Amino acid sequence: MNASSTPAQAPAERQTLNMSAGEAIARIIKAFNGGPMFGMGGFQVLPFYDATRRLEMPHHLIHDERNAVFVADAYAKVSGRVGLADATVGPGATNLATGLAEALNAGTPMVCVIGNTHRDHSWKNMTQEIRQVDALRPLCKELIRIESIRRVPELMRRAFAVATTGRPGPVVVDVPEDLMHDTYDFPLSDFEVNPAYEMAPALRSRPDAESVLRAAGLLARARRPIILAGGGVHLSRAAETLSAFARSTNVPVAHTLTGKGAIPCIDPLSAGLFGRYDRIANKLIDESDVILVVGCKLGEIATKRYTVPAPGKTVIHLDIVAEEFGRTLEPDVMLWGDAKLGLDDLLAALGERAESMRQRHAGYAAEIPQRMEKWREEVADKLYSNDKPISVARILTEINKVLPGDGYLVADGGFAAHWAGLLFDTKEAGRRFVPDRGFASIGYGLPGAIGVALAAPGRPVLSLTGDSGFCMVLGDLETAKRLNLDFTVIVINNAASGYVKALQHLVYGAGSYTSSDLNEVNFAKVAQSMGCTGIRVENPDEIESVLRQALSTRGPVVLDMVVTRDPAKMLPGVDSRAAVIKKGDRIA
């Protein structure tokens, strides 16, 4: 056939490519520049797995699907990109539940693909069959069930859009076995995506101008204003903006566990953690007259079981989710919109009054580092304790000394997050502290470290976890070793489910412990048996040198820190729930 008789190339919208639904799913993920994906395969998702191989997409086997979601969660929290996980039908899908709850409550952008039964045989007692769609629907921002193969690209695009807009969250895409294996001539144009949905927040909205002006007027007249920063600051990537706002007006900033880094902890305006555990922040809140809440849900721990702030305060609440307004306290001004844009608009509305505030609050601002220094002096015996077994406070002191400003500290959901939330000091604005406080499940420390190491290659990564939480997930040390990831897991080895034992001690008294003790385990030897570096630490004077050694060691490192066995010393302070019980009040 000569050139003149060659048929013209079909327009792009009419060009097609025959492929399985599994490949179509993989191609959409690749079009969004999807990062590493973790899962455990099965027959229902084989075409998807085969496609990731042929398309050279980063996909990795993990030993527990819950851990796959935890990895995706930490990866997304640090990178801002969509976290990715998958599972096969039944137990694979239901194993995602705890991780999905974390991502939903924390506002983590995520897409999880799950296989389901063959539609011709559903509800005939197929192997591993369960009503997984019904089980998972409350645990995700949206659950998309694909029923038509030609709609695969469309609905996968929707999954990324939903995951990254508004308050981000996890989207589950449920794909029947027959559809996953079936093929279709897909138009190539179906695989064109909007790059805005690669990261969160994909879209930003501003609070209404009238409310901004009212809020600016209240702040300009305030005598002792304070900012309460939550994890929404990081979801908006607004830490630099909030830090600049605080410095422009000399307004101190206190933070929640997930809001740490909204302003650097070493900044003179940082008042530290507020709520159940605090340094100086709760008293500052009590003394304040105007409170600006930014990206914070004001939940139980942040409010010390709904007692902080005290009634009667003037509150301005800036949040992307309107449903959070008035949930735990009624704000005087509601700023419904993106944290970054809302802060920009507030500063613009203040105009020259911002400089007046900065000058007027100079003395007030100077109190913050003075109070913080006084607090450090009062707790110095704990921060620099030479106790053996080791004090957890001493471990955090050495971490603060060793971890550089661009490093990350992951914290497991229980007491590890509370100790680190109170005592760890970020040196830069931004999310350098990565706890799983959306659902506060233990077992996050190791998979969280994997996710952060993948999101921030070359950066120092430490992870703090308890021995109970580490036992839940230690099989995925093999995964970390297989991937040659560099990070250090610090196991707080107190031979107990420490948080539970400490609460039993507080509520029922010494000796009243039930199902909270563990066998002594040498986790350094466990790590070594799995091909990783393991070091047992029993002397507090060794902590700094061992941390430095770990950070310079290639591959996963486990530091087995033998800490206090005294339940009276396992928490950074008396739990507020125990105080309520001792007053005789009933807790639902």
59-83 per-position pLDDT tens digit: 999 999 999 999 999 999 999 999 9
Q: For the residues 348-356, what does the mean pLDDT come to?
A: 98
Q: For the residues 191-211, what does the mean pLDDT come to?
A: 97
Query: Which residues, 6 or more positions from 418, have their beta carbon under 8 angstroms from its beta carbon?
Result: 257, 276, 277, 571, 572
451 neighbors 71 (Cβ within 8 angstroms):
yes
pLDDT in tens, 103-155: 999 999 999 999 999 999 888 888 889 999 999 999 999 999 999 999 999 99
**For residue 392, what pLDDT is reported?**
96
**For residue 571, what pLDDT is reported?**
86
| Number of other residues whose CB lies within 10 A of the CB of residue 553 | 14
Q: What b/e string do you get for 495-509 counting C-beta neighbours within 10 Å, with b at 16 or more?
A: bbbbbbbbbbbbeee
Query: Which residues, 6 or more positions from 299, have their beta carbon under 8 angstroms from its beta carbon?
Result: 328
Percent of the chain scored above 70 by pLDDT? 95
- 574: pLDDT confidence band, cut at 50, 70 and 90? low
Residue of 415 and 53 predicted with greater confidence: 53
Pairing of strands 183-187, 16-20: antiparallel
Q: For the residues 346-359, what does the mean pLDDT come to?
A: 98
Least confident of 37-41, 155-159, 339-343, 580-584: 580-584
Q: For the residues 353-358, what does the mean pLDDT come to?
A: 98
379-582: which CATH number, 4.10.80.400, 3.40.50.970, 3.40.50.300, 3.40.640.10?
3.40.50.970
Q: How many helices (H) and strands (E) does the chain have?
A: 25, 20
- Residues paired with residue 315 on neighbouring β-strands, in sequence order: 291
Q: For the residues 421-449, what does the mean pLDDT come to?
A: 97
The answer to whether residue 588 scores a pLDDT higher than 50 is: no
**For residue 577, what pLDDT is reported?**
63
Least confident of 425-434, 476-485, 493-502: 493-502
**For residue 587, what pLDDT is reported?**
27
The fold for domain 3-198 equals Rossmann fold (3.40.50)
Q: How far apart are CA 185 and CA 171, in angstroms?
A: 26
The answer to whether residue 491 scores a pLDDT higher than 50 is: yes
Q: How far apart are CA 276 and CA 303, in angstroms?
A: 7
pLDDT in tens, 14-45: 799 999 999 999 999 999 999 999 999 999 99
The answer to whether residue 580 scores a pLDDT higher than 70 is: no
- DSSP code for 11: P
**For residue 573, what pLDDT is reported?**
74
**For residue 195, what pLDDT is reported?**
97
The answer to whether residue 8 scores a pLDDT higher than 70 is: no
324 neighbors 295 (Cβ within 8 angstroms):
no
pLDDT in tens, 463-485: 999 999 999 999 999 999 999 99
- DSSP code for 517: B
The answer to whether residue 232 scores a pLDDT higher than 70 is: yes
**For residue 453, what pLDDT is reported?**
98
- 9: pLDDT confidence band, cut at 50, 70 and 90? low
Say yes or no: do domains 209-375 and 379-582 share a fold: yes
Q: How far is CA 45 from the centre of its chain?
A: 28
- 213: pLDDT confidence band, cut at 50, 70 and 90? very high
Instruction: Write down the CATH superfamily of domain 209-375.
Output: TPP-binding domain (3.40.50.1220)
The model carries a pTM of 0.95
pLDDT in tens, 371-384: 999 999 999 999 99
> Hey, where are the domains in the chain?
3-198, 209-375, 379-582
Nearest to 60 by CA among 407, 453, 439: 453
Q: What burial class does residue 427 get, using C-beta atoms within 10 Å of its C-beta: 0-12 exposed, 13-18 middle, 19+ buried?
A: middle
Q: For the residues 282-308, what does the mean pLDDT come to?
A: 97
SS3 (DSSP) at 233: helix
**For residue 575, what pLDDT is reported?**
63
